[in-house]
Structure 1
Amino acid sequence: MDTVDTQILRIMGLRPYGQLPQDMNGFKPAYIAKKIGLEPKTVKARIQRLKESGLISFYQLYPNFNHLEVNGSAYLFNVKEQDQKPKIIKRIEMVGELLEVHDFLGKELCVDIGYHTNYDLDKKIGLLREFTGDAKPICFYHRHMPKVNRKLSLLDWRILKTLRYNALQSPATVAAQLKISLKTAKRRIERMGKEGSFFIVPALDPSKAIGLVLFELLVYTNQSVNNSSIQQILQTTKDHYVYHYIPASSALGNFDLILFVDSIGKIEELRQKVSKINGVAKTNALIFQGWHDFTGWIDSAIEQKISSLSKT
């Protein structure tokens, strides 16, 4: 994996949420090629190599959580005993409706929680406090989703189910599986995409990026920060970052990046460079050692929607 691969992943996007509908052009080799100045066949070959290496396992679809009446927020916990992390993660899974658990080197764990009400969230955080031993977790980020203006139909939900673990399959394949016309399949998929009814991301296995380290860089800013400061941060890390966003709490910084590097030393080098940019007060690097997906409950939620609408 090199800087070109990093650019490809950055254009695709790695986080299945956002305030605006996703630009599906980000998965088209021709579009990516134009953005980074390469031939489409070169980009296509690069993507195929990422898939063959196992770094991209598959392309996964996530429904807009507003259609499931679910919210999503992530909290950073510090466990008391680092050696107990594997056992703690197994216990955490029992909480239910979790999305991801990011296991960082050291005592930090970031738990991405799905919840229906604030009471539901408080109850789950209470369990996580008990399991981790951290009485004061910090809110890491919120999963913002576009507002929905209509309810999805039975056929819409059946299409989303079909695309769930093979999100880039052709409308013709979807049409054949559901025994509907190609025109209907294309129209429904395009409409839901434009509405922001779903997000698609490559399912990554960072362990397959041989010789590379995945980490998050938390950037804390001061009053002198401005847009040029942010652009300078992105320019400084452009060969390494695959995603950036604004955390939910200033206690975790005002700006955040997910990056790939080829050595621990490079992490410190980038951290120091960003720290020297005007408007940056301090930085903190969190190194990934595990990325756990717990989104199987979404399949059950989709099935419930299909079952409920089938009865009406």
Structure 2
Amino acid sequence: MDSLDIRILRELWQGREGFPLEPDVRKSYRSMARRLKIDNVTFRNRLSRFYRSGYWKGTQLGVNPSLLGMKANMFWLLDVQLPLEKDALIRELSLVQGVMVIIDYYGPSLAVGTLLDGKISIEKQSELLAKLSGAREVLWVDLPFPKCKMELTPTDWRIVKAIRANPRQSYPVISKEVGVSVKTVKRRLQKMNEAGALFVMPLQNLKALEGAIVADLVVLYSNAEAKTDVDNRIISQFEEFLTLATMGAPKYSFFAFVIGKIWQAKEMLSWVKRQPGVVRAFMGLVQDRIESYETFTRLLEKKLREESIYA
């Protein structure tokens, strides 16, 4: 994987400012190629290679958690004591209510992404995950999805239903399923994009990634001023490796990198720890990413029933 591949990955799933993931679910490949200053054919050829390798499995539609009465969180379980074999622990964690993704890092660490009822205490969830895993330290953060700026209409929810498995479904197919004109479909999708109602969830098979290592960096700061400064310096210093930066939380930031050598991760982490205002920094080398979107699907089905989409 070269520098252009990394830039393409960042373009595919990095959200615009204020969003942890890309909210424009219909973002065209042509516009991405233009931003990267490459031709459309080169962009599509690189993406096709991702698919052929088995690494890139496409995307799934996500709905702003606030529209479902939920909140998204990320937990990093550090120095896990492994009361079970790690694979068995991962299976047990996957059964915990609300778990959507588990990231298996090399060594005794894991990350768990959840979608929880807004009334559930994140501290309680942190305690539960720590108890199950035997983690000596748990870092957690609310994923910074901004509140959606609109109420979705029944037509909007029908469009969501039509594209949930394939956000790039053709407009005529969506139009036929929803029972409105192509023009209306385009207009409603554009409005939902502008309001931050939807986002793209990338589907990856990291075991198929050859010649590269995915490294996640979590940084805890002492204050907002230091956070802004160091976030910008991290991006500037390591942009050639960066695929995702989520910086909207008050004291935490998360960065995903693709590197070629383990020593690069060590040097990056050492550099980050030396920055003023950094209280804690953790870097995990990703072995696997286990995605389970049944929770999201169940919540979406419930919402569609409430909106009488399944009449």
Normalised by the length of structure 2, the TM-score is: 0.84
Number of aligned pairs?
A: 308
1:145 is matched with 145
The CA distance in 1 between the partners of 2:305 and 2:222, in whole Å, is 52
* CA distance 1:18–1:26, shift in 2 (3 Å): farther
In structure 2, the partner of 1:262 is 260
Q: Give distance in 1, aligned partners of 2:95 and 2:25.
A: 37
Distance 1:242 1:184, change over 3 A: same
In structure 2, the partner of 1:29 is: 29
Separation in 2 of the partners of 1:299 and 1:19? 21
Against the structure 1 CA distance between its residues 278 and 96, is the aligned structure 2 distance closer, same or farther, given a 3 Å change threshold?
A: closer
Shift of 1:66: 0.7
1:57 is matched with 57
Contact 1:22/1:196, CA 8 A, preserved across alignment: no
Match of 2:43 in 1: 43
Take 1:212 and 1:28, find their aligned partners in 2: how far apart are those partners? Answer: 27
The range that moved more, 212-221 or 41-50, is 212-221
Asked if structure 2 preserves the Cα contact closer than 8 Å seen for 1:15 and 1:201, the reply is: no
- What is the letter of the counterpart of residue 236 of structure 2? Q
Deviations 1:21-76 (A, max 9, x none): 95639842332223222122211222222222222201111001111000111222
Specify the code of the residue in structure 1 equivalent to 2:285.
I
**Distance across 2 between alignment mates of 1:275 and 1:300:** 41
Matches within 5 A, 1:96-111: 96-111=97-112
8 Å Cα contact 1:11-1:26 kept in structure 2: no
Q: Residues 126-151 of structure 1, C-alpha deviation per residue, up to 9 Å, x if partnerless?
A: 43233112375221x21222323443
Provide the residue aligned with 2:291 in structure 1: 293
C-alpha deviation, 1:279, in angstroms: 6.7
Match of 1:190 in 2: 190
SS at match of 1:169: coil
Query: Structure 1 residues 289, 25: CA separation in 2 closer, same or farther (over 3 Å shift)?
Result: closer
SS at match of 1:211: coil
Structure 2 vs 1, CA of residues 214 and 247 (structure 1 numbering), >3 Å: closer, same or farther? farther
Cα 1:255–1:65 shift into 2, 3 Å:
closer
* Paired AA for residue 294 in structure 1: S
Letter aligned with residue 265 of structure 2: I
Q: Distance in 2 between matches of 1:72 and 1:221?
A: 21
Query: In 1, distance between residues paired with 2:138 and 2:230?
Result: 29
Map 1:69-218 to 2 at 5 A: 69-78=69-78, 79-81=80-82, 84-119=85-120, 121-134=122-135, 137-139=138-140, 141-218=141-218
RMSD: 3.2
Does structure 1 retain, via aligned residues, the 8 Å contact 2:25–2:193?
A: no
Q: Secondary structure at the match of 1:66?
A: helix
Distance 1:96 1:106, change over 3 A: same
CA contact (8 A) 2:64 2:198 kept: yes
Aligned AA for 1:256? F
Matched residue SS, 1:151: coil
Q: Which amino acid aligns with 1:77?
A: L
Inter-CA distance 182–154: structure 2 relative to 1 (3 Å threshold): same
Shift of 1:273: 5.0
* Structure-2 separation of matches of 1:26 and 1:178: 17
Query: Matches of 1:25 and 1:76 in 2, distance apart?
Result: 28
Measured in 2, the distance between the counterparts of 1:149 and 1:236 equals 34
The one-letter amino acid of 1:260's match is V
Query: C-alpha separation between the residues in 2 aligned to 1:155 and 1:191?
Result: 12
Contact 1:232 1:277 in 2 (8 A): no
Letter in 2 for 1:12: L
Unaligned runs of 5+ in 2: none
Supply the distance in 1 between the matched residues of 2:108 and 2:283 (Cα, whole angstroms).
13
Amino acid at match of 2:300: I
How does the TM-score come out when normalised to structure 1?
0.84
Amino acid of the structure 1 residue aligned with 2:303: K
Q: Is the 8 A contact 1:246 1:255 kept in 2?
A: yes
d(CA) in 1 for partners of 2:149 and 2:23?
A: 19
Residue 245 of structure 1 corresponds to 246
